[in-house]
Chain A
Amino acid sequence: MLTNFIETIQSRSDLIQQAFVEHIYLSFIALAIGIAIALPLGILIARYRKYAEPVIGVTAIFQTIPSLALFGFLVPLMGIGSNTALIALIIYALLPILRNTYTGIISVDSSITEAGRGMGMTRSQILTQIEFPLALPFIMAGIRTATVLTVGIATLATFVGAGGLGDVIYRGLQSYNNSLVLAGALPVALLAISFDLLLKWVEKKATPKGMKTN
C-alpha cells in the first residue's frame, strides 16, 4: 500500500504539483478578495450598526448553502472556469471575516473609544489607533477560519473545471485508484492544518501587548 502510494506520487508528480499550485492560488486569491471586501465592510457596519444585522444576515444565508450546491447554482450563471470557483470561495470566506471584524470592533469597550473622542482624536485616528489594534486578534481569528474553510472547499473547484487538488482526488475516484485519492486528500489536509497553525501564531502575535495579561 505504502509503496503503491509512493509510486503514484512519483509517477503523477506533475499532476499533483500543478494541482497543488492551483489549489493554493485559488484559495489565496479568494481569501485576498474576501479580506478586501469583508474587512472594510465589517468596519463600516460597526460604524453604522443598523445595517449590521441585514448585511451579516445575507452573508450568513450564503454560508448555509451547501458548497456543492453553490457551485451548482453558479455554473448556469457564470459557466465553468476558475472565476466561478473563485466567486464561490469568496462567498464562503466573507462571513467569518466580516462577522469577526464587526464583533471585534463593537466589543472595544465604549469607555476607551469615548476617552479617545474626549481627547480629540478624529474618527479615523480612533479607528486606526484604538479600534483596529484592539479588534485585530478577532479579525485574525476570522481570517484563520476563512482560510481553513477556503482551503477545504477549494477541493470542489474541480467540478467547475477550475483544477486544484480536487482534480487529483476526483481522478483517483474515477479510476478506483486509492493511492491517487490519498495523494490529493493528504495535501489538502496538510495545507489546512499548517495554515491553521501558522495563523494561530500570527493571531497571538497580533494581540496587543498590554492585552495579554487579560
Chain B
Amino acid sequence: MIRFDQVTKKFPDGTEALKNVSLTIPTGELTAIIGPSGCGKTTLMKMINRLEIPTNGDILIDEKSIKETDQVELRRSIGYVIQRIGLLPHMTIEKNAGLVPKLKGWSDEKTQLRVRELMTTVGLEPDIYLPRYPLELSGGQQQRIGVVRALAGDPNIVLMDEPFSALDPISREQLQKELRSLQQRIQKTIVFVTHDMDEALKIADNIIVMREGEVEQIGSPDDLIHEPANDFVRDFIGQERINRQRTFAQRKIHELTSFFSQARTSEQIAEISSTDSIETAISMLEKPNVNLLAIRHKDEFVGYIDQTSLLRAVIAKEEGGNHAD
C-alpha cells in the first residue's frame, strides 16, 4: 500500500503542483491517475520514487516512510516508465532493457531470459530488436521498450507515466490487455498515469481524478460512472461516455427488481445470477428451450423474469429516461 499523507509540492518558482494530497493506493491493484494537463499527475507519481521531494507531508510504502529507505535502493525496487521515454541512446535495446537487473546484480543469463520474455509480451521480436539502438526504433516501439525496462527488474511497484500515449489504437489496446492480464497474474501494484478516460475505465481497479493539484475523486470505474463526485468529474468522464458505459443491455439484472415476478409461468427454466447483465439474460432467453429465467441473488431465489417483463423494462426505460430502475 502506498499512502500519501498530506503531501504538498511547491516548486521553487512558486508553482503549487500538489495541494495537501492524502490518498491510498492499494497493493496489488492497478490505479490510474487521470486529469487535465498540468494538474500534477507526473509530480504525484515522481514523489513515489523520490524523483520529487515533498515540500510538506510524507509518503509511506507499507506504512514505512520512503525517507527511511535509501533512495537508490528505493528506485531499483520500483519500476518506472517515464513520460518522455528516456531510453539511453548509446546503449542497445538489450542493454537498455537489462539496466535495472544489471544494477541489481542479476546474472546475465537471468537478465537475458527475463528481457526476452518481456519483449515477446510487448510484441517485439527479441532477435530483431535487442541488438538495435533506440533511435532505430519507432516512437511506439521505444515506448514499449520503456515498459520492458520498467518491468525487467521484477519490481513490486510499477509507475507508468502515459506509457501507451505514442501507440496506435491497435497496439495500444493489445498492450492494455496485456498489462491487465499481467497485472492479474502477478499482482503488482501499478500506478498508471493517463489522459485517456477510456483507457482508465478499461484497465484500472481504481481511478484517481485530479484537478489543479488536488484530488477530486477516488473510486472504481463503476463508482466514477455511477456516482461522479462533482460536476468536474462528470464533465471529465463525459456524459456521453457515462451513457455509453451504462447502456441498458449492460445493466445488471438486480436493477430490474420491480419487473421480477414470482409466478412460474413456464417449465422451460434456466438459472441466472442477479449480478449478470441484461444482455446475458436476453441471450439466454433466446435459446429454444428457455422461456423463463430464475434469478438467484447469492444463494437465494428472488424471482423470475421472462421476455415480456424485459420488454416492459425497456419501455419503462424509454419513458423514464436514463434512470428507469
A residues lining the B interface (CB < 8 Å): 109, 111-112, 114-122, 125, 129-130, 133-134, 208-211, 213-214
Closest CB-CB distance, B72 to chain A, in whole Å? 5
Q: Which of B77-85, B172-180, B231-239, B290-298 lies at the interface? A: B77-85
CA distance A11 to B80 in the complex (A): 72
Cβ contact within 8 Å between A213 and B88 = no
Q: 14 A–B contact pairs at CB < 8 A?
A: A109-B86, A112-B86, A112-B87, A114-B51, A114-B84, A115-B82, A115-B88, A117-B75, A118-B75, A118-B86, A119-B80, A120-B72, A208-B89, A210-B89
CB neighbours (8 Å) of A211 from chain B are 89-90, 135
CB neighbours (8 Å) of B44 from chain A are none
Q: Which residue of the partner chain A has the closest CB to B85? A: A111
Closest CB-CB distance, A212 to chain B, in whole Å? 9
Cβ contact within 8 Å between A114 and B82 = yes
Q: Which 9 A-B pairs have the closest CB atoms?
A: A210-B133, A208-B90, A115-B86, A120-B76, A120-B75, A111-B84, A111-B86, A118-B80, A213-B135
CB neighbours (8 Å) of A111 from chain B are 82, 84-86
Chain A binding surface SS class: helix
CA distance A112 to B75 in the complex (A): 15
Closest CB-CB distance, A119 to chain B, in whole Å? 5
Given A114-B82, A211-B90, also A119-B135 (CB < 8 A): no
CA distance A114 to B45 in the complex (A): 13
Interface mask (B23-36 → A, CB under 8 Å = 1, otherwise 0): 00000000000000
Q: Which residue of the partner chain B has the closest CB to A113? A: B86
What is the number of residues of chain B that contact chain A, defined by CB distance less than 8 Å? 28
Q: Which residue of the partner chain A has the closest CB to B72? A: A120
CB neighbours (8 Å) of A122 from chain B are 72
Cβ contact within 8 Å between A209 and B84 = no
CB neighbours (8 Å) of B125 from chain A are none
Contact of A210 (CB < 8 Å), options: B49, B51, B84, B134: B134
Which residues of B, 74-107, contact A by the 8 Å Cβ criterion? Answer: 74-77, 80, 82, 84-92, 99-100, 103
Count A/B pairs, Cβ under 8 Å: 74
CA distance A125 to B104 in the complex (A): 13
Q: Is B73 an interface residue (CB 8 A)?
A: yes
Given A119-B149, A210-B133, also A112-B88 (CB < 8 A): yes
Q: Is B136 an interface residue (CB 8 A)?
A: yes
Closest CB-CB distance, B76 to chain A, in whole Å? 3
Cβ contact within 8 Å between B135 and A214 = yes
Q: Which residue of the partner chain B has the closest CB to A130? A: B88
Cβ contact within 8 Å between B100 and A120 = yes
Closest CB-CB distance, A109 to chain B, in whole Å? 8
CA distance A109 to B135 in the complex (A): 14
Cβ contact within 8 Å between B51 and A117 = yes
Given pairs A208-B90, A209-B133, A214-B89, 4 additional interface contacts (CB within 8 A): A115-B82, A117-B75, A210-B89, A210-B92
CA distance A210 to B76 in the complex (A): 25
CB neighbours (8 Å) of A210 from chain B are 89-92, 133-136
CA distance A50 to B287 in the complex (A): 77
CA distance A114 to B135 in the complex (A): 18
CB neighbours (8 Å) of B82 from chain A are 111, 114-115, 118
Q: Which residue of the partner chain B has the closest CB to A125? A: B103
Cβ contact within 8 Å between B73 and A120 = yes
Q: Which residue of the partner chain B has the closest CB to A123? A: B72
CB neighbours (8 Å) of B49 from chain A are 118
CB neighbours (8 Å) of B89 from chain A are 112, 134, 208, 210-211, 214
CB neighbours (8 Å) of B51 from chain A are 114, 117-118
Interface mask (B51-89 → A, CB under 8 Å = 1, otherwise 0): 100000000000000000000111111001010111111
CA distance A139 to B84 in the complex (A): 26
Given A210-B133, A213-B136, also A121-B90 (CB < 8 A): no
Interface centre among A111, A117, A129, A213 (most CB of B within 10 A): A117
